């Protein structure tokens, strides 16, 4: 009874030693054996919880990871399939026309006068798109 582990209670503290060397550990209520803290509660480990967590992980895969990979694959295919003459928009928002194709970059012509030619990485192409511009109507321009 001199070992501290004999006096440890299941509620996280140490009991006082009562006269006669008995601890005041809680009992089952009928004067029987003290409550043992090492036994897990009923249903502590069950296969239902493992199944639920497995379903949560599978659902997260199908809702988040799989669609993202599909979008990345489509973007990669689009970026690799561009050809000379395509109108593109870059990730920085510039519109241009492809003049040449390199191994990992495109030569793109920017500007209204088409005088600026810049090499742009293939991964920096956001999509195939022409700029939508609206010119002012002639009636509004004369007023």
Domain ranges of the chain: 82-128
For residue 98, what pLDDT band results from cuts at 50, 70 and 90? very high
Q: What is the pLDDT of residues 44-57, one digit of tens each?
A: 667 888 899 999 99
Residue with tokens 């008995």: 22
Q: What is the pLDDT of residues 75-91, one digit of tens each?
A: 888 888 888 988 999 99
Please tell me the pTM assigned to this model: 0.50
For domain 82-128, say whether CATH 3.40.50.1220 is its number. no
Q: What is the pLDDT of residues 2-22, one digit of tens each?
A: 555 555 555 555 555 555 555
Output the pLDDT for position 41. Answer: 59
């Amino acid at each position: 009874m001199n070992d501290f582990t004999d006096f440890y209670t299941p509620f996280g503290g140490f009991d006082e030693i009562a006269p006669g060397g008995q601890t005041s550990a809680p009992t089952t209520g009928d004067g029987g054996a003290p409550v043992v803290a090492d036994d897990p509660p009923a249903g502590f480990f069950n296969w239902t919880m493992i199944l639920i967590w497995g379903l949560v992980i599978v659902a997260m895969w199908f809702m988040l990871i799989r669609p993202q990979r599909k979008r990345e694959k489509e973007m990669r295919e689009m970026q690799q399939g561009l050809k000379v003459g395509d109108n593109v928009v870059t990730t920085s928002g510039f519109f241009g026309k492809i003049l040449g194709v390199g191994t990992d970059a495109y030569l793109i012509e920017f500007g209204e006068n088409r005088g600026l030619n810049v090499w742009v990485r293939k991964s920096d192409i956001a999509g195939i798109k022409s700029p939508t511009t609206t010119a002012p109507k002639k009636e509004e321009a004369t007023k």
